[in-house]
């Protein structure tokens, strides 16, 4: 593994010519992309519910007619403007003719004969941030350890972390906590569904009494998990010396509940982890927890380093105490 991890990103592939699927899949495999397909009738419903996409590959002739992809591309852009659309064209890798007419729904155009240009665009809009290996690996470790401490008799699986540009909120519950250090400023967010978590509480899979199961108690469960992960992150990655003084820039966070949409005022992609908690006894439905890191206020990975844990620091944090 290299010093800096090249994460994967999931892209929705809407291709009108089936014989080109192999070429596009090879390109995805070579460029850390995971391609997923959708049937034409389900595209918009998938986009309304999907929460982990990095972009969309769309052919100009999608739908079996010339220019059919342009119409659906404009519709997609109106619904999900944060997702870059990469348009496959037959003769030209230019968007000048479309943009001259005021059409700005597409991020870039490409042809299968020369996909090198598309690779450069992917690096600019999806893989634009570099995440140190130690950070990515450490986040997964501390989160799984926290989940294991808060749930009883469950299996915890973590998918490979990836990059997303989605702004859709998953489930009914989400927590948000700021992260600040000399190398990063932003937020960590956890998202999950209420009913599976309620099932774990009622099934005595948490430290909350099953008789006290209510939406307030499951809020407390998610809040405690969030706080514990934040504490582990701070102890491991945030330097103990004071951060820079002075007025720090802030931007408003916008939440649209109707559209299940959240914006941090930044176009940067987000680092995403997906955890699945399964009841070993099989009595409860599994829980999916989405974890996102949004470094929208400052990102300086060159200053990143892990703290060297000292005995004094362990006493200060409460992890050690005199016998």
Instruction: State how far the Cα of 102 lies from the Cα of 80, in Å rounded to an integer.
Output: 18
What average pLDDT score do residues 293-300 get? 94
Residue 197 in tokens? 């978590």
Q: Give the pLDDT confidence score for residue 241 in this predicted structure.
A: 54
Give the model confidence (pLDDT) of 71-108 as tens digits.
Answer: 899 999 999 999 999 999 988 888 988 888 777 899 99
| Rg from Cα positions in the chain | 22
Query: DSSP labels for 83-120?
Result: S-EEEE-SS-S--HHHHHTT----SEEEBTTB-HHHHH
Give the model confidence (pLDDT) of 224-280 as tens digits.
Answer: 999 999 999 999 998 765 455 555 778 899 999 888 899 998 888 999 999 999 999
Residue 31 phi, psi (nearest 5): -125, 30
Give the model confidence (pLDDT) of 18-31 as tens digits.
Answer: 899 999 999 999 99
Query: Hey, how many other C-beta atoms are within 10 angstroms of the C-beta on 9?
Result: 22
Residues of each domain in the chain carrying CATH 3.40.1550.10: 131-317
Domain covering 131-317 assigned CATH 3.40.50.300 in the classification: no
Give the model confidence (pLDDT) of 97-156 as tens digits.
Answer: 888 877 789 999 999 888 888 888 999 899 988 899 999 999 999 999 999 999 999 999
Give the model confidence (pLDDT) of 278-288 as tens digits.
Answer: 999 988 999 99
Residue 129 in tokens? 């941030």
Measure the CA dihedral 88/102/120/126, to 10°: -90
* Residue 55 contacts residue 10 (beta carbons within 8 Å): no
Per-residue pLDDT for 311 more than 50?
A: no
Query: Hey, how many other C-beta atoms are within 10 angstroms of the C-beta on 165?
Result: 21
Q: What is the pTM of this model?
A: 0.85
Q: Give the pLDDT confidence score for residue 135 in this predicted structure.
A: 94
Instruction: Please state which CATH number belongs to domain 4-125.
Output: 3.40.50.2300
Q: Give the pLDDT confidence score for residue 319 in this predicted structure.
A: 54
Give the model confidence (pLDDT) of 214-229 as tens digits.
Answer: 899 999 999 999 999 9
Length of the chain: 323
| pLDDT band at residue 317 using 50, 70 and 90 as cut-offs | low
What average pLDDT score do residues 176-205 get? 94
Q: How far is CA 100 from the centre of its chain?
A: 34
The CA angle 8-261-227, to the nearest 5 degrees, is: 75
Residues of each domain in the chain carrying CATH 3.40.50.2300: 4-125
Give the model confidence (pLDDT) of 28-63 as tens digits.
Answer: 999 999 999 887 678 888 888 776 899 999 999 898
């Amino acid at each position: 593994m290299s010093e800096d991890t090249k994460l994967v990103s999931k892209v929705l592939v809407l291709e009108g010519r089936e014989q080109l699927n192999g070429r596009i899949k090879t390109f995805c495999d070579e460029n850390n992309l995971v391609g997923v397909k959708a049937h034409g009738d389900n595209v918009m419903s998938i986009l309304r519910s999907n929460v982990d996409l990095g972009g969309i590959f769309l052919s100009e002739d999608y739908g079996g007619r010339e220019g059919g992809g342009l119409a659906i591309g404009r519709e997609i852009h109106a619904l999900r403007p944060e997702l870059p659309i990469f348009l496959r064209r037959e003769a030209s890798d230019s968007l000048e003719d479309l943009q001259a007419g005021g059409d700005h729904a597409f991020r870039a155009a490409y042809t299968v004969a020369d996909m090198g240009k598309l690779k450069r665009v992917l690096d600019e809009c999806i893989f634009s941030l570099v995440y140190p290996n130690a950070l990515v690996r450490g986040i997964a470790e501390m989160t799984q350890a926290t989940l294991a401490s808060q749930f009883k008799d469950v299996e915890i699986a973590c998918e490979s972390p990836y990059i997303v540009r989605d702004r859709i909120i998953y489930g009914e519950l989400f927590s948000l906590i700021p992260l600040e250090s000399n190398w990063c400023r932003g937020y960590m967010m956890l998202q999950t569904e209420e009913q599976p978590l309620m099932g774990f509480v009622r099934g005595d899979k948490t430290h909350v009494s099953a008789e006290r199961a209510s939406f307030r108690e499951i809020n407390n469960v998610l809040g405690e998990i969030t706080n514990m992960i934040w504490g582990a992150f701070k102890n491991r990655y945030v330097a103990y010396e004071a951060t820079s003084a002075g007025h720090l820039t802030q931007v408003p966070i916008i939440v649209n509940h109707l559209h299940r949409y959240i914006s941090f005022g930044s176009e940067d992609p987000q680092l995403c982890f997906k955890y699945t908690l399964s009841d070993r006894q099989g009595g409860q439905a599994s829980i999916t927890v989405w974890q996102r890191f949004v470094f929208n206020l400052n990102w300086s990975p060159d200053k990143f380093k892990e703290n060297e844990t000292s005995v004094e620091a362990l006493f200060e944090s409460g992890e050690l105490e005199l016998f």
